Amino acid sequence: MLREELMLLSHIQEAIRGIDHHLSSCVSYNDYERNYTVKRAVEREFEIIGERSPA
């Protein structure tokens, strides 16, 4: 694997860890829905994954 590909995968893995971290404070989907900050943080992590994924 090329160095650049490994770096992209590393960024994706970091974003997944971020999603897991943000969601750890939510016990249910309703908790997630009511917490604007968590929702925005998770959405941003998914944006990062999308930006890093090869086309």
Domain chopping of the chain, boundaries: 11-52
Distances (CA, A) of 50 to 25, 31, 35: 24, 25, 23
Among candidate residues 25, 21, 24, 10, the one with its CA nearest the CA of residue 44? 21
Q: Can you give 16-33 as a three-state secondary structure string?
A: HHHHHHHHCCCCCHHHHH
Among candidate residues 24, 48, 49, the one with its CA nearest the CA of residue 38? 24
Per the structure block, which two tokens stand in for 42? 């998770």
Q: Is the pTM of this model over 0.75?
A: yes
Q: What is the pLDDT of residue 51?
A: 84
- pLDDT tens figures, 16-54: 999 999 999 999 999 999 999 999 999 999 999 998 766
